[in-house]
Amino acid sequence: MFQDQLAEKVRPFIDLIDDMRSIGIDKELPLPTIAVVGDQSSGKSSVLETLSGVALPRGTGIVTRCPLLLQLCNDRTVKWEAVISYGGKVVEFDEPSEVVRHVEHAQNVLAGKGVGICEDLITLKITSSTVCDLSLIDLPGITRVAVKGQPDDIGAHIKNLILKFIKNKRTIILVVVPCNVDIATTEALKMAQEMDPEGTRTLAILTKPDLIDPGAEKNVLEIVHNRVIFLNMGYVIVKCRGQKQIDENMSITHAIEEELEFFRNHEHFRSLLREEKATTKCLATKLSNALVKQIKVSPTKHPTFICSPYTKCTLENMWSVHQVVDEYDQKHRGTELPGFSNYRVFQHVVQKLVAKLKIPAMTTLQKIRGNISLPPCIQDSLCPHGFFIFEQQSNIVKARIGEQFEMEMLVYTQDEIFNKHLPKEEKAEGSDHNTRSKYPGLLKSYYEIVVQRLADQVPMLIHYFILKESAKIVCSEMLDLLHRDDTDIILQEDSEIGQYRAKLQAQADRLLLANDKIIINYV
């Protein structure tokens, strides 16, 4: 019916998108498309019927229960043929009257019989000499109240399904709104604004202009002229078959002719014909041009559109193998250092060197232990506990130092730490070449790590157990002295120190007295 609306040179672009979608590329990459959104009973089905030239499922409630990709291909050599694809099935037929039956059957297979919905796509490709070159996706009508057999949150399910399609920034959102409702409260337009707040890819269709109340025509004109809610792609007003015309078996061809006469003779809307803002024919032109423009400006036709994701995909597959190897390497890292062809020889040498360090460590412990004791008065008061406190802590330190040396026999360090200790010319390269000449440097580097660990750990053990922990125990023991009867005697000062303190105090008193006399007599 609108076979001249799209130039032959742009048909390959739409074919390209349809072919890519047929092989499932849309699951990996966003493809330009047109998504039809509207409330139930908004006239959405009537618009699609006029564009496609065939009857689609109709009724009350949810009629479109699965997304329907409608591919219209103009071919002057073909009278009419169709192919419907869903769930891996492909059915060909050549009778327009069979469309409703095939679509309803596909919906029952995918969504089950009843009123449920499904996200799986049904593809209906119609090739004819009487259709325009166009591809669009019809989505379930927006509903707010669940009917019998539907889940309570059916409205949320439908909304999520619609948003899934229109969130793609390459999708043209075709919003269908009846003329006799308040456009500002239309849920379909709200969803479009949510995903396309600037209105750059939203086109609105105003339906049912014959049902508006007298006097409301000016309000409709304000909307069409983009003065109420601005949309960059604008508005188109159409008049499709109503239920009465369908019941009277009015053909779609006749309905298109009647639509043109309606706008020509309408007092308020006839000007919209000249402005190309009215009739389904004008809508078809706008949609075809908009879709082709979207395809041209998108990177879809550029080779990198596929190459980049393909490269990423293949690299991820390769990376998964490397990742497994790296995880295994990290898990076992440190137990065998890089740069050794015969690791056991190196391990044996290190263990012998480490064993020689144990005697100096124990000697240091004994020297420090010998220099630590309690004051005589406290030692006498705590006897025999005072002596045992330090002996007990010394034994703990001795055991811990022994454990530390046992651990050092394992020969372990992180490769990164080990490599930092190597001279630049001896960095481990993971190769066995010339390994023997590197042994002295490698051994020295690891020995420095061991010495540093022991130099930190042994003093920390001695400081913690001999000093800090012993002090805690002594404090606890001394608090117990407060409950003894001889506390005053225990805390009594040494007699010699007491005598010396008294002597100093008497001397200080004499000096102060002498100073006072000097002040009185000479000042």
pLDDT tens-digit readout, 175-202: 999 998 988 889 999 999 999 999 999 9
List phi, psi (to 5°) of 517.
-65, -40
Three-class secondary structure assignment of 62-91:
CCCCCCEEEEEEECCCCCEEEEEEECCEEE
Assess whether pLDDT exceeds 80 at residue 516: no
Residue 131, C-beta contacts closer than 8 angstroms, at least 6 positions apart: 1, 2, 3, 51, 52, 53, 72, 73, 74
Confidence (pLDDT) at 3: 44
In this predicted model, which residue has the larger pLDDT, 62 or 171? 171
What kind and span of H or E run contains 178? strand 171-178
Q: For 322-362, how does the pLDDT look when each residue is reduced to its tens digit (9 = 90+)?
A: 565 556 555 555 555 555 545 677 778 888 888 888 998 99
In this predicted model, which residue has the larger pLDDT, 519 or 470? 470
Confidence (pLDDT) at 250: 87
Structure tokens at 230: 């601005």
* N-term to C-term CA, the chain: 131
Assess whether pLDDT exceeds 70 at residue 279: yes
Share above pLDDT 70 across residues of the chain, in percent, rounded to a whole number? 74
Neighbours of 377 (CB within 10 A): 14
Is the peptide bond between 384 and the residue preceding it cis, with omega within 30 degrees of 0? yes
Assess whether pLDDT exceeds 90 at residue 242: no
Largest CA distance in the chain: 142
Assess whether pLDDT exceeds 60 at residue 302: no
Confidence (pLDDT) at 2: 45
What kind and span of H or E run contains 204? strand 202-207
Structure tokens at 193: 């604004």
Confidence (pLDDT) at 6: 45
Confidence at 89, pLDDT banded by 50, 70, 90: very high
> Per mean pLDDT, which range of 69-73, 107-111, 231-235 is the poorest?
69-73
Please work out, in degrees rounded to the nearest 5, the angle formed at the alpha carbon of residue 519 by the alpha carbons of 515 and 523. Answer: 155
Nearest residue to 43 via CA among 137, 138, 134: 138
For the sheet with 235-237, list strands across it: 89-93, 80-86, 122-128, 68-74, 134-138, 33-38, 171-178, 202-207, 235-237
Confidence (pLDDT) at 494: 66
Asked whether the whole model's pTM tops 0.85, one would answer no
Compute the mean pLDDT over every residue in the chain, rounded to the nearest whole number.
79
Q: At what angle do helices 385-408 and 470-481 cross, to 10 degrees?
A: 160
> Per mean pLDDT, which range of 23-32, 62-71, 103-112, 437-446 is the poorest?
23-32
What residues does 167 pair with on adjacent strands? Answer: none
Pairing of strands 33-38, 134-138: parallel
Confidence (pLDDT) at 55: 81
Q: For 112-137, how does the pLDDT look when each residue is reduced to its tens digit (9 = 90+)?
A: 887 788 899 999 999 988 887 788 89
Give CA–CA dist 323/312, Å, rounded: 15
